[in-house]
Structure 1
Amino acid sequence: MSKDYYFQVAGFTFNVRLCGKPDIERLLPSFRSFLCDGSPHEKLLFYFVETPVSDTISDRDVLLEDNVNDMGRTRLWRTSTGYRIELRFMADGTAHYLYTDPYFTFVKAKIDWNDSYVGEVLSSMLRIVFSQAVIYYGGISVHAATVVLDGKAYLFMGKSGTGKSTHAALWQECFPGCELLNDDNPTIRIANGKAIAYGTPWSGKTPCYKNLCYPIGGIVRLSQAKENRFTLQENVDAFITVLPGCSGIRQNSDQYGELCDTLARLVCLFPVGKLECLPDRQAAVLCKEKLKMY
C-alpha cells in the first residue's frame, strides 16, 4: 500500500508517493516545515513514485556524469526516454535508482529500504529532481551560503573550501540581526518582478531548513586571497560570475538555455560582486559596505 506526501519548496508543490507507511518526519526531518496539504488535481512541479523498476543499463544509455563527493556517489545517464540516475550514500554503498522523463516531471524510484542511509538518499533524490524540474518554471537551485540582514538575502558562492560558510558566519558575528537562511542549496527565482531567495530542505552540512523567502540584496563569489578586495561585476561579467554556482545538466541544451535565460534576467535585479578575501571580519564589513552602495 502506498501513501502520498506533498511538499512546497520555493512556491512549487510536488508529490512523493512511497510504498508502505514510512515515518516521513523521521525519514526526512529537514522537510517538516515544507509539508503541505496537496491535491492530486493541482498543478505539481513533479510526481515522485516509488515503484519496482529495472536497474539494467541499456547499450543506448549514455553516461553523462560520474561524481563522488561528501554526499556519496551519483551517476547520470541519458536514456531514450529521459534520464537514469544511480545514487549511493557511500561511494561503495547500496545503490538506489531514479528514472525520469526529459523534464523531470515524472520520476520512478527504486529504493532499498535496508540501507541505513535511506533517509539521506531519499533527500538527495528529491534535491536532484527538484533542482532540474524548477529550471523549466523559472527557478534555479544554487550552491551558496545565504544570510538575511535587514530583510534582504545575501548569497555567497565559490568553489568548495573557499569559505562560503565561514563568510556567512562572519556576517552573523558582525551584524546584529543577521541570520542564516540556508548554508548550501537555496533556490532563486523572480516573483512579482523581484529576485527572491528561498530556503529549502537541503542545506549541506549545516542544518538550516527554513521555509522562508527574502528579496535578494546581492550575490558574491568568494576566492581566497592575501588581502580583501571587492570588485563589482556587471552585465555579462555578472552572469558569468553566478553561472558556475547554478545546478543544471549542461549537456541538455534546452534546459541549459532555460537556465541561462532566467539567470540573465535575475542578475539585472541585484548587485553581483567578486570578493577576494581573508577569513576575517574586515572581509565581511567590506562586502556589506560595497553591496549597500549599489
Structure 2
Amino acid sequence: MVRPIGFLVGLGFVGVLLWSLLWGAVAYVKEPPVPTAEHEFHEHPKKVDFSFNGPLGKFDRGQLQRGFQVYKEVCAACHSLRLVTFRDLQGIGYTEGQTKTLASEWAVETPTINEETGEPATRKSIPADRIPAPFANEIAARAGNAGALPPDLSLIAKARHDGSNYVYSLLTGYQNQPAELLKQFPDSKTGAGLHYNPYFANLNLAMAPPLTSEGQVSYSDGTKPTVDQMSKDVAAFLTWTAEPKLENRHSTGLAVLAFLLIFTVLTYMAYQNIWRDKKH
C-alpha cells in the first residue's frame, strides 16, 4: 500500500514541475522580458593575469604591499577594512617592526574621555588593533558621502562575482555614457552625483573615480604608478584580505590530489594482485 501511494505522490510532484515549466515557457513566448539598460550595456569584468590565478598561483608580496599603499593613501579615506588587523599585514611581507610603524600612523579612539576637551581620547594603534574605519558610524559615513554608504572592503573580492577582475574593471571602467544607451533608453541618463561605469550592476555609482592620474601614489620599489598598475595592485591586495590563506588552500588541494592519485594506483595494483589467479 505504501509503494503505490509513494508512486502517486512522486508522479504528482513531476506533474507540477512539468506544468510549471510549460506555463513558464508559454508566458515567456507571450510576454518576453523587456530589455533594460542594465541588461544591454552591463559588461562582464575584464580578465587580468594575476599571479595568484590557477591552482599553482601565488601572491606577489611586492604587489600586495603596493596594493596596501593604494588602499592606505586613496581608498582608506572612505572605505573601511574592519576584518584586517595590522599584524595580519605580516602575511604580505612586512616585518613585525614595520607593522608597528604602520599601526602607529593610525589613531584609534579609546573608551575614555579627554578631561580637558571632553572629546573621546585617542591613542596610536598597535599591531593587534584592526585597521580603523574612516567614519565613526554609518550615519557619519553617509553624511560624508552624499548619502551613499561606502562598503567595507575586507571581503569585497569574495562578495562580488569574479572579484579580483571586478575590482580592477570597476576602477578602470569609468567613462562617459554611450550615445547609443541614451538613444535606446532616454530615461537612463546618469543623474547628478553619479558616475557611469558599465561594470557596476546598475551602471551608475556614487563613488567618483578614485584613481585618476599617474603618480597618484608614489611606489617605493620603483614601479611606475599608472592608473592601470595601481588598480591591479589594489585588486590583488583586496583579494588577499578576502582570502589570506589562498596559497595554503592551493597547496593543500595539490597534496590531496597527489594522495588520491597514489591511493588509486595502489588500490588498482592490490586489486590486480588479489584477483590475478581468480577466474571470473
Q: TM-score, normalised by structure 1?
A: 0.18
Choose 1 or 2 for highest CA Rg: 2
From the two aligned structures, give the one with the greater helix fraction: 2
Greater relative CO (CA pairs within 8 A, separation 6+): 2
From the two aligned structures, give the one with the greater strand fraction: 1
Q: TM-score, normalised by structure 2?
A: 0.19
